[in-house]
Structure 1
Amino acid sequence: MKNKPPYALSSVDNALVLLHLLRDQGQLGVTEAAEALGVVRSTAHRLLSMLVYRDFAIRDESHKYRPGPSLFVSAVEHRPTSELTRIMLPHMHALRDRSDESVQLSIRSGRWTRFIATVECTQYLRVGDRRGTVLPARAASGGRALLAELADQQLRDLYYVGEEADAAPDDEARLSQGEWNALAHSLALIRMKGYAVSLPDTEPGVRAVSVALHNEIGDAVGALSIAGPTSRMNSGTIEKLGADLLAVAQRATTGLSGYRET
């Protein structure tokens, strides 16, 4: 038997119970959540909203809450990401100071990308701390930069295309032939330019540019991104930031010489 801690935080405990319910039941309404926790609807709604904010839940068109990507995307795929963060933080601070935009570090986990570190800029209108946020790899700039590192067969192992899409385990794995062609074309352009840009509708009002980070033997171990409001991220700015990111990624290779995917 596990005993409740003597100074238990009821709000934290309630949020964790909701995570269990989402995982086990597959969906949850506000009324159902309130009854399960013994709280009023407004409290249940606030708790569920925070789970949505941190990607542990999503709210569908029927206003039901379902498990979000943070519940089924492996946290770090057994990689020592604290070491990757330690190595890259000085580069991230320098990038932030030069660009006056927020800098992000991310890794790819299958069809998803997860942010593991942020250095925020000081501008009033800025991209905030995204640590823990999970986005589809084919939409986020960091995910796209890392997908561009894969061979065609590796990509096909990730996504189900055309008739195969009926067997896809989740919506993110399911691509039409047209979507596959568009993805393949965009990844070819990323390989040519060396940097990736997020799709326009990935995060409303935000645009990001990213490059893949490599260790000394050429393995892609993460992605480095600069993100800002679309009002400041025009094509000229993106090209300049992309060149700066490529230079930083090249310099960081030496520091990443001991870093491996495990």
Structure 2
Amino acid sequence: MQNKRSRPMIERPTYLVESVDNALRLLQMLRDLGSVRLKDAAEELGIAPSTAHRLFAMLLYRGFAVQDEKRRYHPGPAMGAGPALRGWTREFTDWSRPHMEALAGECGETVNLVIRVGAQVRFLLSAESSEMLRVSDRQGQVLAAERTAGGKILLAQLGRDTLAQLYLRPDDRADAGSWPGDRRMPRTQFDRFVHELDNCRSSGFAINLQQTEAGIAAFGMVIRNHARRTLGAISVAVPVVRYAQHLRGPLVTQMRNAVAGIEADVAVIEP
């Protein structure tokens, strides 16, 4: 007799979107094998290496894969990311949207809204610039917090003990090797990182200069509610060729004005 709680076997769809199926199979390979070469993936899927490369490029872009120095692919931060479990994020996104769109129009760059979940940041929303040379939409991505401008300014709100739990390598692992997703740092590196975050907190904004992607820089600023509890951050992503002009120009002031507007609207939101 069939258990009432059991689910019927899911049958293979009669119509397959081949590229979607191949991308999902790549995700399964990353999950089950942990390390995948481009050639092996192409052979397993029965596709050309150039096609496998394009599929992996999208997984890299969305944070589902990372690549090591030997050009092997490994599971990315989005692979281990469960749901945020925060019902307030929809309201947070809706209230932030008009301010982000206004800021994108004012500064001519792409504006992102992020929240921190552990050592990761999630991009909830992007307001894309209309400039020909611009940073593209990042909505839905999950990235390592310490490598992003929004993530850094959010980490800067934490105490040293909390940061140590996230990033300090235990003494008994001091000689341990690292893998592409490992964020643990030896003490000297950790101390430099904490000093960097102290500077971010003092200045009121953080900078990512080509840490997540070559040719891209970003500025991050925290968003709080009426009780001064951290909700998330906005980041403005810019092509690195325009980084210096924004660093000297009005961008930081424009961001502060946008944050003030967002904070007035999200004042009563409780994370």
The 1-side partners of 2:177 and 2:164 are apart by: 12
Equivalent in the alignment of 1:34? 42
Tell me whether 1:176 sits opposite 2:175 in the alignment: no
Equivalent in the alignment of 1:109? 117
The 1-side partners of 2:172 and 2:149 are apart by: 26
The 2-side partners of 1:91 and 1:168 are apart by: 44
Tell me whether 1:198 sits opposite 2:176 in the alignment: no
TM-score of the aligned structures, taking structure 2 as reference length: 0.86
Tell me whether 1:217 sits opposite 2:227 in the alignment: yes
The 1-side partners of 2:49 and 2:200 are apart by: 47
The 1-side partners of 2:168 and 2:85 are apart by: 22
Deviations 1:28-53 (A, max 9, x none): 22333234323344433332232223
CA contact (8 A) 2:168 2:187 kept: no
Tell me whether 1:231 sits opposite 2:237 in the alignment: no
CA contact (8 A) 2:77 2:144 kept: no
The 1-side partners of 2:99 and 2:49 are apart by: 46
The 2-side partners of 1:248 and 1:42 are apart by: 43
Deviates more, 1:36-45 or 1:173-182: 36-45
- How far did 1:227 drift? 1.6
Taking only the aligned residue pairs, the percentage that are identical comes to 36
Equivalent in the alignment of 1:89? 97
The 2-side partners of 1:61 and 1:237 are apart by: 32
Gaps of 5+ in 1: none
- How far did 1:9 drift? 0.9
The 2-side partners of 1:158 and 1:239 are apart by: 34
Please report the RMSD computed on the Cα atoms of aligned residues, expressed in angstroms. Answer: 2.4
Tell me whether 1:60 sits opposite 2:68 in the alignment: yes
Secondary structure class of the residue paired with 1:34? helix
Deviations 1:160-218 (A, max 9, x none): 24735547996542212232122111211122111111144432222211111112222
- How far did 1:251 drift? 2.6
CA contact (8 A) 1:194 1:246 kept: no
CA contact (8 A) 1:55 1:133 kept: yes
Equivalent in the alignment of 2:4? none
The residue type equivalent to 2:99 in the other structure is H
The residue type equivalent to 1:119 in the other structure is A
Gaps of 5+ in 2: 1-8
In the comparison of the two structures, how many residue pairs are matched?
Answer: 261
- How far did 1:155 drift? 0.9
- How far did 1:127 drift? 1.0
